[in-house]
């Protein structure tokens, strides 16, 4: 129960923080957070750059999702701390700015 509550709280916090940075996560309450970035090449590049920053996400696009709605999928776990999430959000902000996604 405590881990489930912590995971839900972390998912809400991540969504709030990533939205404040200018990203567009798909609505939801789960710890799997898809963030729309547009073109498939942007999603793949972003996932590669985030991995270089120590953040593992999966980038995918057409034909898995509709054209122009490529995304990176983030998956939080109960093991992620608030500091982990803050570091991931900071990396998203840096990479998103470099790619012109935000």
pLDDT given at position 29: 87
**Residue 64 DSSP label:** T
Model-level pTM?
0.91
For residue 63, give Cα distances in angstroms to 6, 67, 69, 70, 71: 34, 7, 10, 9, 12
User: How many CB atoms are closer than 10 A to CB 58?
Assistant: 13
Q: Which domains does the chain have, with CATH numbers?
A: 2-99 (3.90.1150.10)
Residue-wise pLDDT tens digits, 48-99: 999 999 999 999 999 999 999 999 999 999 999 999 999 999 999 999 999 9
Question: Residue 19, preceding bond cis, omega within 30 degrees?
Answer: no
pLDDT at 1 over 80: no
pLDDT given at position 5: 92
pLDDT at 39 over 90: yes
Rounded mean pLDDT, 41-54: 96
């Amino acid at each position: 129960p405590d881990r489930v509550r912590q995971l839900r709280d972390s998912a809400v916090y991540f969504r709030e923080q990533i939205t404040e940075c200018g990203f567009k996560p798909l609505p939801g309450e789960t710890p799997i957070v898809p963030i729309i970035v547009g073109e498939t090449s942007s999603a793949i590049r972003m996932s590669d750059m985030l991995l270089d920053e120590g953040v593992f996400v999966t980038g995918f696009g057409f034909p898995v999702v509709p054209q122009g709605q490529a995304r990176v999928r983030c998956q939080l776990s109960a093991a992620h701390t608030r500091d982990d999430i803050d570091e991931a959000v900071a990396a998203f902000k840096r990479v998103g700015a470099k790619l012109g996604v935000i």
